[in-house]
Structure 1
């Protein structure tokens, strides 16, 4: 009797786990059916979905069948009323069904504002006269009015509403009662608790100032901005009661701060099948001279790469939303394709246009000696990195919602070889979607990346600047940099590449998670942007332990397009943070 090969055993495990995930029940789905008279399929579907989501999780003891039925009828009645059906009749239909006669649907007869005469240009409200009465629209209109009051500086404004039903004519009159209160502006902004942080740096970090409208949303945003600086462990604010000051009504704002320790030391370890054991150590000072200057020193090594790097970030460089980073590094990289020893120094200017958009431009000088096929060549590359990044994801190291993407352009010229110039282009996109109401809270994560080198032939471009695919941060299941054209078993790199990944991330209990993944890609020796052509695919399973900082990742992958004499049955990876 033959034993299963490791790759087949892994695939069998994936199939078994996938089958369990599909078989997870919805929340206490008892096969409830709903029929609506007059026929309204959309309403029936909405009611049936709401009933399926009922369970006993919020009750001290399990409910009896009678109690569960009473709860279902209350749920149906509440939803019908929210849609404008106030004269409905609910009948039980068998052991697991309901027959509903909705009766007439109430329409809006009038909708008006009471109060706020001193304010003009009020926003339009929903529902309008003649439309069905929907509770959701009434609540949304109240929220719209409150936002409008805040925008007009009425921080303490109140909005209530009253709905009067005319049961004879099946109509409703809606009145929003507005109490604007005084228009309040920010008086004095003060800080306390800072020890090493300069007050001008704090003020420049905020988008609030004396004389601006007092808006709670902006104060909350200011608090979050201070916390995101990395210099503080807690931020609270107090607002004084409004006081008349001439023609203005002012409230002072005071921020109470607790500073974070400026210095920290960190150490991480990791493992991959190719690079074996690896470790990184680092030291940082997050507030070098009192204005958030961030000095970072780090060194790391494994069997492929050794790196020592120093960087200094100057926030609010020349203007509040602009940072300057200076860096220098020494690196040695010994792969199956080349041996590279390099020294680098550069500067990067980053402009934060919004919370979600930033651009950068830099200048980098790299002095390197690259050995390939027993030939050694020296390069003195001057490059200008240009980038645009959009980030709408909810977390940098463990995203579960949203998306992010970027475009980078980097022209190179060799000061040692005047005829060598080339341009590197890379586009990447990632997306995340979660279903928190489902069992195991699944998150679907997608990644796609492509790149192109133009301006020079493959052999002219330094081997350490070409594109490579394969390994823990790329296509898992294959040796490092090996997914592409090989020459005598060694990768040669490419002028273009494309790759994609799909992950299903599950939280199976406590801090533990399981991930099923598939990666594919290829590095092409020519300029080929055919997404998916000649791709090699890998698949696997991963274990996650979610720490307060980032998930600890254990991945086991197998090549689905295994090449004899090149690929092993399994590749193993350990690191911090999600794969993407």
Structure 2
């Protein structure tokens, strides 16, 4: 009898009993060992000897009726099958190969399968203000209510479950859950309803707030710049914004190397609070050292030294470092430019460490081509082009070649410009110009030499206060109406001028302002030589203002007045007088057509004995006033601008409000990264004989 809890062992691994008989129960060997050893071929002692041939064998049947080769060497190997001739044929060329994939039965079924439609119902997110954000990120919403099958709808729903949980956690609902259910819609086969239910649960709030940082000057600087307080909801945006404020403000207070570590928030499910810990490595309190440079060395250290607005030993301020980088970018001479603080270990004032500014330079393209085109009624077509080498005379010594080709104006100019000349943002210009102008007001051939110093704004660095002053020598031969002779004659004038300009700019953009104002004053003491020397002064005051009514609508206004003192109008060269009308003046009237005209007596009757008042040409004046009002409505990169203008030029020294001419119209704008393209169509509201019914103006930039 077997022992309790045991059983006889069976199987190939069962222990063998020494006395167990090898009987017919399947335990005797199939081939006895002696027969197996006798069937093995004898082996030669020479390992390099060839293999011995196998003796022929005969196949004998097995007991189950199958056949097998016995191991006694009596079987024979059948001869090889004949080689298939097709295997010796060349492969067909690839161009003749059919590359269209086979279409299986599954493919046909899928292509004919109906598209599933579904609707999405979201519950529980609206009350906590997350429904709109969820809808903007939802995979179900992105699918547009269509899917290939129910599995795809289910996958989108599971993804939106995780989205809802992430959004709830971002507002402090850390116990929030979300579940999604697919429902069939009765009597609407092929349509599903996806119901996503979010359960926010209680909101977690900040508990204790701990900042781990080195001592700072002033004390608690890091904590004061972390705008979090106990009891605030643990909102991701609020927490991240507070940490970003630390990274922003500390480099402005003398800590350029501050590093904000990874926050830790320990949640307590009983009190529904989270204890917040933020490690901050402030780095050393630092002061400015010196400027260093490496790279292509476009500027050497002597020229780089005029750009910083900080002095050695001043407390480090990241804004001054950014200011230095922007000033270098404004030169337009670099492909890449970086300004980074570098630790030196040198002691500075008040326990600081001096930090050098490392300027890394990479040379950019120095040559450029520019061009523009415009058209104005009374001014004709005007094409302008220019070539500039911005660093032909280092540092920042540019050569500018410009040309104008138009129906009524032609000219060329060569200018030398030195930017940041001895002082940051100050430029020096000198050059020569030659031009021909053929307008209704005058026909002139003019050459000039000029030199000018300027402190100007750039598109990258707009300044509130700018100025310019210089000198100019002009020689001009012009047609002028002689009232004594009652006809036009040509006269030559020599003019010396000292033009000066100041601008106070409180607008928000140099090329396309939408708020603020500008005040500009031009004064040019001059002397005209024609027979005798006549000194005089030209002045112009202009004010513009911009008021944003909405994000899309800006009301813009302009007022301008000019006077010429100390000389009679007829002693002035016609090109130095004031004229009104044109795209930058009172639109609706031809270029320079507003103001005093030649006397009617100067006209000659035509063959029918009639006098055409449109043939009267302007003679200009000593004063001018202009007013403009625009409503600039922008949608995307396009805009519509209705406008009304008023103004006139006068023979008197001072302008007055009498005989104002009004023009109105509408314009289109196409906004680009270099300024708006402008097309204005206007008509005069109280025209004079000969004024056009419609005037067209095409140019770059706003009217003012």
Same fold (TM over 0.5): yes
Does 1:254 pair with 2:358? Answer: yes
Whether the 8 Å contact between 1:474 and 1:519 is mirrored in structure 2 is no
Shift of 1:58: 8.7
- Of residues 636, 639, 643 in structure 2, which corresponds to 1:518? 643
Q: 2: CA distance between counterparts of 1:51 and 1:376?
A: 78
Match of 1:61? 142
Q: Is the 8 A contact 1:389 1:404 kept in 2?
A: no
Asked if the contact 1:188–1:251 (Cα under 8 Å) also holds between the matched residues in 2, the reply is: no
Deviation at 1:388, TM superposition (A): 1.7
Distance of aligned partners of 1:418 and 1:188 in 2 relative to their CA distance in 1, 3 Å threshold: closer
Q: 1:448 to 1:276 in 2, by over 3 A?
A: same
Find the aligned partners of 1:358 and 1:427 in 2 and give their Cα distance: 15
Residue in structure 2 matched with residue 528 of structure 1 by the alignment: 655
Task: Flag the 1:210–1:339 CA change in 2: closer, same or farther, 3 A.
Answer: same
CA contact (8 A) 2:580 2:586 kept: yes
Task: Report the CA distance shift for 1:329/1:403 in structure 2 as closer, same or farther (over 3 A).
Answer: farther
Specify the alignment match of 2:397 in structure 1.
293
**Alignment match of 2:332 (pick from 212, 219, 230):** 230
Per-residue CA deviations over 1:186-222 (Å, capped at 9, x if unaligned) read: 5662221245x54532343344676555444333332
> What TM-score does the superposition give when structure 2 sets the normalisation length?
0.57
The corresponding residue for 2:527 is 414
The count of corresponding residues between Structure 1 and Structure 2 is: 504
8 Å CA contact 2:514–2:554 kept in 1: the answer is no
The aligned residue for residue 537 of structure 1 is: 663
Q: Please say which of residues 173-182 and 475-484 is displaced more in the overlay.
A: 173-182
Structure 2 counterpart of 1:455, from 565, 579, 598? 565
Change (3 A) 1:483 1:78: farther
Unaligned runs of at least 5 residues, structure 1: 1-46, 83-107, 165-172, 437-441
1:573 aligns with 2:573: no
Q: Distance in 1 between matches of 2:547 and 2:505?
A: 12
Residues 85-121 of structure 1: CA distance to partner in whole angstroms, max 9, x if unpaired? xxxxxxxxxxxxxxxxxxxxxxx9x999986754238
Structure 2 counterparts to residues 281-430 of structure 1, below 5 A = 281-351=385-455, 356=463, 357-373=465-481, 374-393=488-507, 395-397=509-511, 399-403=512-516, 405-416=518-529, 417-430=532-545
2:73 aligns to what?
A: none
* Conservation of the 8 A alpha-carbon contact between 2:435 and 2:446: yes
- Pairwise CA distance, 1:450: 0.8
- Counterpart CA distance in 2 for 1:190 and 1:389 is 35
Q: 1:177 to 1:549 in 2, by over 3 A?
A: same
| Correspondence for 1:218 | 320
Following the alignment from structure 2 to structure 1, what is the Cα–Cα distance between the partners of residues 585 and 135? Answer: 42
Give 1:410 deviation, angstroms: 1.9
Secondary structure of 1:204's counterpart equals coil
Q: Which runs of 5+ in 2 are unaligned?
A: 1-128, 146-156, 173-205, 267-274, 482-487, 601-615
- Report the Cα distance in structure 2 between the residues aligned to 1:162 and 1:393, rounded to whole angstroms: 45
- Alpha-carbon distance, 1:518 to partner: 1.0
- Structure 1: distance between partners of 2:365 and 2:282: 44
CA positional deviation for 1:448: 0.9
- 1:472 partnered with 2:598: no
Distance 2:169 2:590 in 1: 59
| Separation of aligned partners in 2, 1:520 and 1:134 | 57
Pair 1:559 & 2:683 matched: yes
How does 1:14-163 map onto structure 2 within 5 Å? 56=136, 61=142, 118-120=216-218, 149-157=250-258
1:361-397 CA-to-partner distances (Å, cap 9, x unmatched) read 2222222233222144433322222222234555544
Going from structure 1 to structure 2, the CA distance change for 1:255 and 1:384 (only over 3 Å counts) comes to same
Look up the match of 1:497.
625
Could you give the per-residue CA deviations for residues 512-548 of structure 1, whole angstroms, max 9, x where no partner exists?
A: 5233231402123142365x982412212325263x5
Match of 1:191 among 272, 287, 294: 294
- The question of whether the paired residues in 2 share the 8 Å contact of 1:283 and 1:298 is answered with yes
What's the CA shift string for 1:203-253, capped at 9, x where partnerless? 43344676555444333332222111011232234555x453457545554
Asked which structure has the greater CA Rg, the reply is 2
Distance 1:210 1:456, change over 3 A: closer
**Separation in 2 of the partners of 1:428 and 1:182?**
49
For the residue of structure 1 that corresponds to 2:434, the secondary structure is: strand
Higher relative contact order (CA 8 A, sep 6+): 1
Q: Tell whether the 8 Å contact from 2:256 to 2:341 is kept in structure 1 after alignment.
A: no
Task: Kindly report the root-mean-square deviation, in angstroms, between the aligned alpha carbons of the 2 structures.
Answer: 5.1
Distance 1:418 1:573 in 2: 39
Shift of 1:422: 2.5
| Residues 410 and 556 of structure 1: CA distance in aligned 2, closer, same or farther (over 3 Å) | closer
Whether the 8 Å contact between 1:499 and 1:522 is mirrored in structure 2 is: yes
CA distance in 2, matches of 1:234, 1:311: 27
Distance, in Å, in 1 between the alignment partners of 2:387 and 2:686 is 42
